[in-house]
Amino acid sequence: MLSELNIEKYRGIDSLKLEDLGRVNVIAGENNTGKTSILEVIESLERPNDLRAWRLIGRREGNSMRISTTSYDTMKSLFPINNENKKTSIVYSGEYNNKLFTVELTGEFSDTILNDEQLEKIRGYRHDYGTTEYEHNEYEVSLLDIYYKINGENFGSDKIYNVQRGFATSTDIIASIVENVVYVSPTQHANNSFYLNALMTDPKLYEQFVEIMKEFDPDFVSINSVEDEMTRSRKYVVLSKKFNEGLLLNAYGDGMKKAMLLLSALLKAKDGILLLDEFETAIHVSVMGKVFKWIIENAAKLNVQIFMTSHSLEAINSVLKCCPDMQKDIRMITLVNTEDGVKARNVDALKAIQLMDEYGLELR
């Protein structure tokens, strides 16, 4: 498990220490304290020197993949803000499975001149460069050189120009600190993006899954993966006693789909880390306790560590109280703005419940 994470520099985070992490870690705090940024750093542990992975993390900002940005702008947004120097860095370290690690991405910003041939090559246009005639134009562009260093060892570099949409990584060997990290966004369920295959191959967990689905539809029987005869693609069909035929999963409400996503994501994250951003989205508080009781109880069995963020005090309270026997394994991490920047306050679930019930303290 990840027992400690020190984020020295990342986006707006500066010198944030997270210590004594548990099996389940609930992260709360005011807006712009860095809740999602913490999840991003943890997600990067799977491929810390992979430009594609970083680009995906950067494009997810605001939970919208529709925003069209260049790779240059995406990567620039990950480096510390309010930095006017031409050289900057992302730095974080920690301990995972009793092994220390450090990650450093150094970014060097510069301006350079490109001719027509160089510009078209960077933009991905294909020509017979031996015969194509070019005009003698010159273009001033911005360049970002990224150098990766993991545990003090150089692990490749990449170049990104502000005029290119795509990118080509030059890193040959991809490092990995955590072998399996699964991120679930607040709106992923709405896109019918699930991990149900893993759930369907485990009879015992699938049986428990069916019982939880009955909280949303008492007549729920099963969910099956079938092949579309026209497109040959796979789709999920739900069988319910109240309908004469199976219904496509997208015919059901967001609450049921979000529960399916969370339960299946836990299995997908086996022997790794599960990240749940704004975990309460679309799930009614009346069923939240049962859903997360299943998730937390099975996290230890599947060797999964969970980090989840939330804005909802009611949802946080439900998670903290859903598994009385495991409260010592649950951490309540509150991010607080101080004169020295954002700091983390970390207590276990028992202490967090006491602070809320006896003293009326808000831990979000």
Q: For the segment 203-255, what is each residue's pLDDT rounded down to a tens digit?
A: 999 999 999 999 999 999 999 988 888 888 888 999 999 999 999 988 889 99
Report d(CA 72, CA 143) in Å as an integer: 8
Contact 55, 71 (CB under 8 A): yes
Report d(CA 152, CA 252) in Å as an integer: 50
pLDDT in tens, 148-179: 999 999 999 999 999 987 777 777 889 999 99
pLDDT above 50: residue 62: no
Window from 82-91, 122-131, 139-148, 298-307 with minimum mean pLDDT: 122-131
Q: What are the backbone angles phi and psi of residue 318, rounded to the nearest 5°?
A: -65, -40
Instruction: Report the CATH superfamily, name and number, of domain 22-44+180-216+254-364.
Output: P-loop containing nucleotide triphosphate hydrolases (3.40.50.300)
**What is the DSSP code (8-state) at residue 302?**
T
Q: In this structure, which amino acid lies at residue 321?
A: K
SS3 category, 292: helix
User: CA angle at residue 93 from 108 to 173, to 5 degrees?
Assistant: 65
Report d(CA 112, CA 283) in Å as an integer: 51
Tokens standing for residue 184: 């679930």
For position 164, what pLDDT does the model report?
87
pLDDT above 70: residue 143: yes
For position 292, what pLDDT does the model report?
96
pLDDT above 50: residue 4: yes
Q: Are strands 234-240 and 247-248 parallel, antiparallel or unpaired?
A: antiparallel
Q: Looking at per-residue confidence, does 70 or 344 come out higher?
A: 344
Kindly report, as residue ranges, where domains of CATH 3.40.50.300 are found in the chain.
Answer: 22-44+180-216+254-364
Tokens standing for residue 77: 């947004």
Report d(CA 78, CA 174) in Å as an integer: 19
Window from 23-37, 56-70, 135-149 with minimum mean pLDDT: 56-70
SS3 category, 61: helix
SS3 category, 109: strand
Contact 43, 275 (CB under 8 A): yes
| Beta bridge mates, 236 | 225
pLDDT above 50: residue 315: yes
